Amino acid sequence: MRLSDIEELGLPPGTKGLPLDGSIRRVADLAGRGLNLLRGDLPVPVAVLKRSALDTNLREMQAYIERVGIQLAPHAKTTMCPQLFARQLTHGSWGLTVATMTQFKLCHDFGVSRLILANQLVGRAEIEGLAHLWAQAPERDYYVLVDSLVGARAISEGFSRCPGAPPARVLIEVGMPRGRCGVRTLPEGLTLARAIKTLPQVELHGVEGYEGLIVSERADHDAAAVTEYLGSVLQLYEALTSENLFANPDRVLITGGGSAYYDLVAHVLTGKSKGVLPILRSGCYLTHDSGFYRRLLARIEDRAVTGAAPRLVPALEVWSRVISRPQPDQAIVMMGKRDVSYDIDLPMAHWVYRDGRDTAPRAIEGLVVEKLNDQHAYLSVPASADLAVGDLLGFAISHPCTTFDKWSLLMEVADDYTVIGGLKTFF
């Protein structure tokens, strides 16, 4: 599939946000129709991405990675939107990162030439699937993670069964105690690397870590813990280098997560030997948010480890309507667990628009989302609020990943909320 095919893709019935008159049948139909969210042209809820904000974030991040001297392989899982992948690659991303082989195949099919499966490759379907995809395009620069000998052997056997597949390029995942995947100690990593060297059809090309698990209320503590953890990734790299365990010592990947700690990943992983290719895998910079990542970006700014933080702005909003004002202190909005993130923070009502009164969204304060059902939000409303059935409310979100996966199509909008395109996701 090519990017241009997405524009021609038929939009299935049930696609949220599409006009109910059936006038929009393909993604391409959305541009240029002058559909406007504020004017009430779209059924709600609807998820929008502001093009101006996306553009800002693409530019800001590109400038940042160039300044700090790291490569960016944004995590595709955040958006699962090939149209956005294309913009990320155009704006200087080295490649993309994925979490599952299904995500990998999507990117492979769209022709992405550098991919990191930032996850353990386990399972016959997955290992043989990768070997076959890679055999079709052996020139592609693909990497997967390992953290156990059992896993490395299974990859070796799977790739050996597939004629034409190049050797699997693996990175050793370095974990942390009570963390996620990954070797827990340097000796474990060394032992694994020595074993990999003896296996057919597997090559060791680097080390990987994910520091993003470290998040507490204490910014100083977290920064110290992240720095220490990234140091352990680097120590494994050094130990493996001194034993000459990398398949290509002139090009060794060292990669960290990064949505929360760009600065520390860049600070620790860059400026090493000439053979090191340091890679950041942030997925959330593109849309940023108004909760979790806003708070973490403020910490980057405070730390000033790599100078100024990128000036990211929130691009993703979910809009819906007040459908009931059953009590003076309560409003019910047509938006629920199916429409918006609720895993870190509940959505935040930031803007109101009333048809016939407003010409642009007004900032609103004091409305608090107290609870979500599958399809409804419960808002507490201060006595002073002027809020009526039919009013549109714009919600800022926290954690873009869990909002994206609730939408097969997001509307790309101009600053006046005119739809200028459709962004299709593939979850």
Contact between 107 and 115 (Cβ < 8 Å) = yes
**Near a second copy by CB under 8 A: residue from 62, 113, 148, 227:** 148
Q: Which of 31, 376, 418, 420 binds a second copy (CB under 8 A)?
A: 376
Q: Count residues contacting a second copy (CB under 8 A)? A: 84
Q: Which of residues 303-322 bind a second copy (CB under 8 A)?
A: 321-322
Quote the least distance from Cβ 74 to a second copy, whole Å.
14
The answer to whether residue 109 forms part of the interface with a second copy (CB under 8 A) is yes
Stretch that binds a second copy, among 64-72, 216-224, 270-278, 387-395 (CB under 8 A): 387-395
> Quick one: which of 4, 139, 178, 274 contacts a second copy (CB under 8 A)?
178
**163 binding a second copy? (CB under 8 A):** no
For a second copy, the binding residue among 171, 285, 406, 422 (CB under 8 A) is 406
170 binds a second copy (CB under 8 A): no
Q: How far is the CB of 130 from a second copy (least distance, A)?
A: 8
| Minimum CB–partner distance for residue 337 and a second copy (Å) | 6
User: Applying CB under 8 A, which part among 104-112, 197-205, 243-251, 286-294 lies near a second copy?
Assistant: 104-112
Least distance in Å: CB of 374 to a second copy? Answer: 5
Taking Cα atoms as reference points, which of 146, 156, 160, 235 lies closest to residue 193? 146
Q: Which is nearer to a second copy, 64 or 110 (CB)?
A: 110
- Which residue's CB is nearer to a second copy, number 171 or number 276? 171
Establish if 119 lies at the interface with a second copy (CB under 8 A). Answer: yes
State the residue for tokens 């990234």: 230
Please classify residue 420 by burial: count the beta carbons closer than 10 Å to its beta carbon, then call 0-12 exposed, 13-18 middle and 19+ buried.
middle
Which of 224, 368, 389, 414 contacts a second copy by CB under 8 A?
A: 389
Closest CA to 114 of 159, 62, 169, 77: 169
Residues 330-359 that bind a second copy (CB under 8 A): 330, 332, 334, 337-338, 342-343, 355
Q: Which of residues 240-269 bind a second copy (CB under 8 A)?
A: none
Please identify, among the stretches 118-126, 201-209, 228-236, 290-298, the one whose residues bind a second copy according to the rule CB under 8 A: 118-126
Closest approach, Cβ 247 to a second copy, in A, equals 23
- Contact segment (CB under 8 A) with a second copy among 89-97, 147-155, 162-170, 298-306 equals 147-155
Figure out which of the listed residues 24, 144, 183, 410 binds a second copy, where binding follows CB under 8 A.
183
**By the rule CB under 8 A, 130 interacts with a second copy:** yes
For residue 183, the cross-strand partners are: 174
- Looking at beta carbons only, is 7 or 405 nearer to a second copy? 405
Among 242, 239, 254, residue whose Cα is nearest residue 208: 254
Q: Is 40 in the site for a second copy (CB under 8 A)?
A: yes
Which residues, 54 to 83, sit near a second copy by CB under 8 A?
77, 80
Shortest Å distance, C-beta 126 to a second copy: 5
- The verdict on 101 binding a second copy (CB under 8 A) reads yes
- As a three-state string, the secondary structure of the chain is CCHHHHHHCECCCCCCCCCCCCCCCEHHHHCCCCCECCCCCCCCCEEEEEHHHHHHHHHHHHHHHHHHCCEECCECCCCCCHHHHHHHHHCCCCCEEECCHHHHHHHHHCCCCEEEEEEECCCHHHHHHHHHHHHHCCCCEEEEEECCHHHHHHHHHHHHCCCCCCCEEEEEEECCCCCCCCECCHHHHHHHHHHHHHCCCEEEEEEEECHHHCCCCCHHHHHHHHHHHHHHHHHHHHHHHHCCCCCCCCCEEEEECCCCCHHHHHHHHCCCCCCEEEEECCCCCCCCCCCHHHHHHHHHHHHCECECCCCCCCCEEEEEEEEEEEECCEEEECCCCCCCCCCCCCCEEEEEECCCCCCCCEECCCCEEEEECCCCEEEECCCCCCCCCCCEEEEECCCCHHHHCCCCEEEEECCCCEEEEEEECCC
Task: Output 1 or 308, the one with its CB closest to a second copy.
Answer: 1
Q: Is 383 in the site for a second copy (CB under 8 A)?
A: no
